[in-house]
Structure formats: structure tokens, C-alpha cells
Amino acid sequence: MADDAATPVVAASTSAVLDDEHAIVRGLWRGIDVFRWLALAYAVWSTWERHEQIAHLALGVAVLGVLAGWTVAVTLQPVRTVRAYAIELAIGCSAILATRLVDDPQVITAGAKTIPSIWPTAAVVGFAVLRGWRGGLAAASFVAACSFVEVVEPTPNTVTNSIFGLLLGGCIGYCVDLARSSHEALAEAMRLDAARAERDRLARTVHDGVLQTLAFINRRATDLGGEAARLGAMAGEQERILRTLVSQTDLAEVGRAVSGDADLRGLLRHVERDGVQLVSPADAVLLPRRVADEVVAAVEAALDNVRQHAGEDAQAWVLLDDAGDEVAVTIRDSGRGVPSGRLEQAVAQGRLGVSSSILGRLSDLGGTATVSSGPAGGTTVEMRIPNRRTARPSHRHHGHQPDRIADRQAGTRTQGRGAS
């Protein structure tokens, strides 16, 4: 009960982590907002400190006004996009270049601060947060290039500030990349933990009810035999899959249990009963599970036709053969056979048992199915399914002995092949 009650709490906390951005990234966004205001205040103070040296003070104040307007706008309505920070970077670099219009060339050459001072660094850090170390280095390089253009003759301060900007953008971007990677790893781990916790909760319910019921059906049906054995085999197969789902800790193993390869011999074992003999290779005949299930359904449909139309005393043989690049399943019976044109007549009357359940299934799988009858009776349904999972050249044939049994008991050997 305690585990069941804790499950919603675990799911809620997992969802909160997955939907939330990393704490380091959130802290950097808040730091950029604060830094932008501090950098603006520093730019205003620097301009006021040397206002007597500025040739066009009004233009310098106008530049500061543009910086202040952008700072207010992004504070009231934060936008964390590349486009927004590209605009901010363009504003900062334009302010750097505008310093040549504000100051005299000799003042700039003497090493005077630019009008925006360190304000463009906020855009550099923003690109580092958005695009990692590559974005930070690109933005810092752009600011450094504008600084060298503004000063014309590089000064020690220009070189130092440019190197500092490159280091700042690259290091912060690298830290952000690491933070995001760790956040993704944590989120994936929490997803897996939540999935396992939910599967464990369901496993207890399934194990106490469904699995025990399926196991009981399998045992009782096997003891009863006959038609019940088929039901028992189906219950046993579903029990195996369900037990894998609720007991495996490896999620990849769960996927293989549901959608991996299946041994066609085991899936066809339930068709063998009084009047039906199954002959199969000694080795496993592996097919993708979906393909194997469709083949089993087609075989069951063919045996249903034998029971309905071949007569009460008819015998049937199911021959399974693995030729490497294809799998062949042949169903032969000792019944009355199918009169010529009977299958076409059944389709015209809307009776699609053979056409849909057998021929249609094999066509969907990329295989072929043929139905033929011999002159003395008996029907042969031959199915051929391409085995795309392997291209082994070996050929294992196991149909010769059943052929002789069929000929001896049915009194005839089916000949010819009339595909329908």
C-alpha cells in the first residue's frame, strides 16, 4: 500500500524535473538580467567621468539611451531566443562602433573606454547559454572584431578585453553544455526509475491474479487434451510473455519478448492432436513474432477447413521446413479434395475463408500460398514465407517421411498445383 501511494508522488516529481530547466541555466538567465543593469550603470558612470573629453556628448547620451531602453524592455518582457540576443548583440556592437562618432580619434587611440563599455558582454553570455561554448565564442569574436575596428590601432586594453570576452563566452558555454548533459542524464534515469516503479506495482497485481490464472488454464487444458490443449498452449504463451513483461529489469529484454523473434515450431505445437500430425526440423525455425503469429493463424485456418470439409475420418499433416532464405509450411489432408473452381465460387458467394485467412495473410507477409488437389482426393496447402532475418544457405528437409505416410493412408499422392 505504501508503494502504491508513493507512485503518484514519484510520477509528479519526475514530471517536475523533466519539465524544468537546469538550475544552473536558470541562475545564468537571472545573472544576465542583473549584469545587464550593472553594466548599464557602469557605462553611464564611465561616460559621466570623462564627459569633458567627449566631443559629442549628446550623441553619447543618445547611445546610452538606446542601451537603457533595451535593458528595460528585456527586463519587463524577458525573451530567451537567439533572435532576441542577436538583436542585443547588434545593439552592443553598434554602440561600440558609434564611439568613433562620439570621441575624437586621439582620445580613442589613447585607450578611452567605449560608450557601452562591458554592456555587450551580456549578449555574449546569452549566446553561451543558448548555444553552448560555440555560441559564446562566436558572439565574443564578433564583439572583439568590432572593438578592433573601433580602436583602429589595438591597445593593450583592447587585446585584454577581447581575450577576456573569449574566455568568458567559451567557459560559460562549456559549463552550460555540461549542465544540460547532466540534466538529460538525470531526466532519463528518473524516467527509467518511474517506469520500473510503475511496472513493479503492476507486476504485483498481475502476478497475484492474471499469471496464476493463465498457468492454471495451461495445466488443466494440457491434462484435458483435445481442443482444450490448443487453448492451454495459447494461455501458456501469453503467460510467458506477460511474465517477462512484469519480471524483467532489462527494458531491452522486455522489447525482445514482445517484438523479437519467435520459434515457429513452438507456436505450431498446439495444432498436433488426434488426426493432425506435426513434422518439424530439430532446430528452431525463427521468424519475427508478428510474421510467426500470422503464419500460425493461416495454418489454423487451413486445419479448420480440413475439419469442416474433408470428412470425419480425414487425416492431416503439417510439415514445417526451414530452407534458410524462406520457410515452408505444407498442410496435407486425406479428404475429398477441392473440386475445380470451388474456391472461385466461394469468393463470389462472399465466403472468404481460404482467400482471406490463408492467401491474403501470406500475400501481406510477402509470401505465397497455393491450394491444390489430386485426382484421387486430398488437398494440399503450401505456404512459403521469406525469412528476411537470415540468408543461411543450408537446407533442411523433413517432409519425405510424412509424404509416404500421407500416400499410404490417403491412398493417393496429390499432384499439380492450382493457385487460387
The set of cell numbers assigned to 191 is 524516467
* Cβ(336)–Cβ(411) below 8 Å: no
Q: What integer pLDDT is reported at residue 412 of this predicted model?
A: 34
* Cβ(191)–Cβ(14) below 8 Å: yes
Q: What integer pLDDT is reported at residue 5 of this predicted model?
A: 44
* Residue entry with cell 465460387: 345
Helix 156-206 vs helix 227-247: angle between axes, to the nearest 10 degrees? 150
- Of 76 and 273, the one with more pLDDT: 76
Which of 382, 375, 381 minimizes the C-alpha distance to 414? 375
Give the Cα separation of 280 and 327 in Å (integer): 11
The pTM for the full model equals 0.47
The lowest-confidence range among 49-53, 245-249, 361-365 is: 245-249
Burial of residue 386, with CB atoms counted within 10 A of its CB: 0-12 exposed, 13-18 middle, 19 or more buried: middle
pLDDT band for 13, please (50, 70, 90 cuts): very low
Which amino acid would we find at residue 13? S
Cα of first residue to Cα of last residue in the chain, in angstroms, is 60
Residue 261 reports pLDDT greater than 50: yes
Which of 257, 256, 219 minimizes the C-alpha distance to 235? 219
The lowest-confidence range among 17-26, 38-47, 60-69 is: 17-26
Between the alpha carbon of residue 343 and those of residues 63, 348, 374, the distances in Å are: 90, 9, 15
pLDDT band for 383, please (50, 70, 90 cuts): very high
The lowest-confidence range among 66-75, 241-250, 278-287 is: 241-250
* Cβ(34)–Cβ(78) below 8 Å: no
Q: 78-132: per-residue pLDDT in tens?
A: 888 999 999 999 999 999 999 989 988 888 888 888 899 999 999 999 999 998 9
Q: What integer pLDDT is reported at residue 88 of this predicted model?
A: 94
